[in-house]
Amino acid sequence: MSRTHLQSISRYYDGCSGGDIPLMLETLHPDVVHYFLAPNVGSAPVAGAEHLVRYWRKVTGMIHATWVVDHILDGVDEAVIEWTMSWTPSGKEQSVATRGAEWFVFREGLISEIRSYYQQRPDTTELDGFPYTERGYSTVGHLDSAIHQPVQNREAR
C-alpha cells in the first residue's frame, strides 16, 4: 500500500502514542536510525525498527505521551515536520507540551532516518509569541491539529 509521507508519519506517531508495535513497524524501514538532540535524556541514536518500537513503547508508558503532527514540508524522499508532544513529567499531575521538529528520510516508501530537534524540559517549551492556536496547531488540552487527529482522539469520539 502506498501512503503519503504525512500518512506514514501520522501512523508512526499514532503507534508511538499508543505503544502499538505493529502500527509503528508498518511505517519503518528495518534499518531505521533515529537521532536525538543532545543533551536530552536518552539522546543516543536508536538503530533498527525492532529496537526503536520497543524504545517508544517504553518511553510512552513512562511519560504518557501523545504526539501530534502540526505542520509538514514534503519532498520526494524526505519530509520535515513540526510536532507537539503532550506528556506528564515525573512528579507532576498536569501535562505539558514539548514542541519539536523532525527531518524524515524515506527509503522504499518507509521511514529510514529520523533527525529530532527539541529540548525536553518538565515545563511547556514552545516558540515565544508564535500563534499556535490560530495556525491550527495542537495545544495541551486540544490534541488535534489541522492535519493530524491522533488515533487516541479519533477513538474517543
pLDDT tens figures, 113-157: 999 999 999 999 999 999 999 999 998 888 999 999 998 644 432
Q: What is the pLDDT of residue 107?
A: 97
Domain regions of the chain by residue span: 5-156
pLDDT tens by residue, 35-76: 999 988 788 999 999 999 999 999 999 999 999 999 999 999
| pLDDT tens digits, one per residue of 10-38 | 999 999 999 999 999 999 999 999 999 99
pLDDT at 155: 40
- 5-156: what CATH class? alpha beta
pLDDT score, position 43: 86
Which pLDDT belongs to residue 152?
66
Question: In the numeric block, which cell numbers belong to residue 135?
Answer: 495556525
Average pLDDT, the chain: 92
More confident residue, 151 or 6: 6
Rg (CA), the chain: 15
pLDDT attached to residue 39: 86
